Amino acid sequence: MGSSRASTTMALLLLVLGAIVSVSQGQLQVGFYSSSCPGAESTVASAVRSASASDSTILPALLRLQFHDCFVRGCDASVLIKGGNNNAEVDNGKHQGLRGLDVIDSAKAQLESQCPGVVSCADIVVLAARDAVAFTGGPSFDVPTGRRDSKVSNLRDADVLPDVKDSAQVLRSKFAAAGLDHKDLVLLSAAHTVGTTACFFIQDRLYNTPLPGGGRGSDPSIPDAFLSELKSRCAPGDFNTRLALDRGSERVFDTSILRNIRNGYAVIASDAALYNDTATVDVVDSYSGLLSAVFGPYFRPDFADAMVKMGSIGVLTGSQGEVRKLCSKFN
């Protein structure tokens, strides 16, 4: 009787322990590769540093790459797949101008020689974005790893991506669908503190905005002097000229972008929209005020937290998905 009860207790204990192990294997954790591939994170950092030495603009591009991956099906490297019939996710027009895929490929090739089949492309994307933030003068922070790569990449899946023409309400809705709130929306939009945009993305704002009295023209919310400045840089039909997203501070990771948004100097419409919505205007003000650096809220740690949160969207872990040998194709 006692032996039977002990056996039952042991069986239950083993069942519980097994469940705990199963859960832990299915979760992200900081230092996931510390035993299986100790040089994983430093190898990615080295690849990012090497790429930025010859092209500093690749850093904000890598940050954008994580955003574009995570918002479509989750952080699963689906955006890296290159299809032969223009039907892969990356072929969607919303990914226009996406760069940095070659940096991910370079890091992956190095890691495959060190630890074959261990480090996922999805993790490399997130680590590269983290390093890009640090290399532009932003905060250094830990990101949990352990993601797996998806076996799916469809053109139309990327339709869910936020768009420069979206209102604040639409942006909040899209962020909410990804498990992010209005504070995350402001913080992650503030990644525009570094980098540039093409005139393609502001043509409608400058020349084709629906006007209250009818017809189309320039967005009436743009201050006159700033409008003249933008038009001098982006003539009608000019899609390729690039200009700073954070006017006057595009090379420094700081809160200047939020002050620009507050003062009417947002370059793209989706940034400007953040100051025309009751849910986001207070967040913009809270980080762009003079006393924020002293009394909080503190932008740098909050931005890091938002990046980690975004990096956890829809992840595949444990036995889900796969670890690709090449980031651009399924195994």
CATH number assigned to the domain comprising residue 105? 1.10.520.10
Residue 84, pLDDT score: 78
Give domain status of residue 3, yes or no: no
C-alpha neighbours within 13 Å on the C-beta side of residue 212: 3
**Residues 6 or more apart whose Cβ sits within 8 Å of residue 131:** 44, 45, 48, 49, 62
Which residues contribute to the annotated binding site for heme b? 192
Average pLDDT over the chain reads 91
**Residues 6 or more apart whose Cβ sits within 8 Å of residue 319:** none
Residue 60, pLDDT score: 96
Average pLDDT, integer, range 109-125: 98
154 and 208: one domain? no
Tokens of 83: 């299809």
On whether the CB atoms of residues 135 and 52 are closer than 8 A, the answer is: yes
202 and 303: one domain? yes
Residue 19, pLDDT score: 39
293 and 273: one domain? yes
On whether the CB atoms of residues 64 and 98 are closer than 8 A, the answer is: yes
pLDDT confidence bin for 26, thresholds 50/70/90: low
On whether the CB atoms of residues 244 and 267 are closer than 8 A, the answer is: yes
**Residue 256 lies in domain:** 168-309
Domain stops at, among 115, 143, 160:
160
pLDDT confidence bin for 129, thresholds 50/70/90: very high
Distance CA 234, CA 241 (A): 7
Distance CA 287, CA 249 (A): 16
Distance CA 6, CA 83 (A): 57
On whether the CB atoms of residues 6 and 77 are closer than 8 A, the answer is: no
Distance CA 166, CA 205 (A): 12
Residue 6, pLDDT score: 46
Give per-residue pLDDT as tens, 284-322. Answer: 999 988 777 787 899 999 999 999 999 999 999 999 999
87 and 148: one domain? yes
Domain stops at, among 160, 176, 195:
160
The CATH number of the domain holding residue 261 is 1.10.420.10
Which residues contribute to the annotated binding site? 69, 72, 74, 76, 78, 89, 162, 192-193, 246, 254
Give the Å distances, CA to CA, from 295 to 288, 290, 304.
12, 10, 18
Give per-residue pLDDT as tens, 27-78. Answer: 899 999 999 999 999 999 999 999 999 999 999 999 999 999 999 999 999 9
Report which of 29, 105, 38 is spatially closest to residue 318, judged by C-alpha positions.
29
Average pLDDT, integer, range 3-28: 46
Give domain status of residue 31, yes or no: no
Cβ-in-10-Å burial (0-12, 13-18, 19+) of 72 comes to: buried
Give domain status of residue 182, yes or no: yes
The structure's pTM equals: 0.90
* pLDDT over 70, % of the chain: 92
Average pLDDT, integer, range 178-205: 97
Residue 8 in this model has a pLDDT that exceeds 50? no
Distance CA 115, CA 111 (A): 6
Which residues contribute to the annotated binding site for substrate? 162
On whether the CB atoms of residues 97 and 164 are closer than 8 A, the answer is: no
| Active site amino acids | 68
Give domain status of residue 22, yes or no: no
Give domain status of residue 25, yes or no: no
Give domain status of residue 66, yes or no: yes
Q: How many domains does the chain have?
A: 2
User: What count of residues does the chain have?
Assistant: 331
Distance CA 258, CA 247 (A): 11
Query: Residue for token digits 């768009």?
Result: 163
296 and 172: one domain? yes
Residue 23, pLDDT score: 35
Give domain status of residue 4, yes or no: no
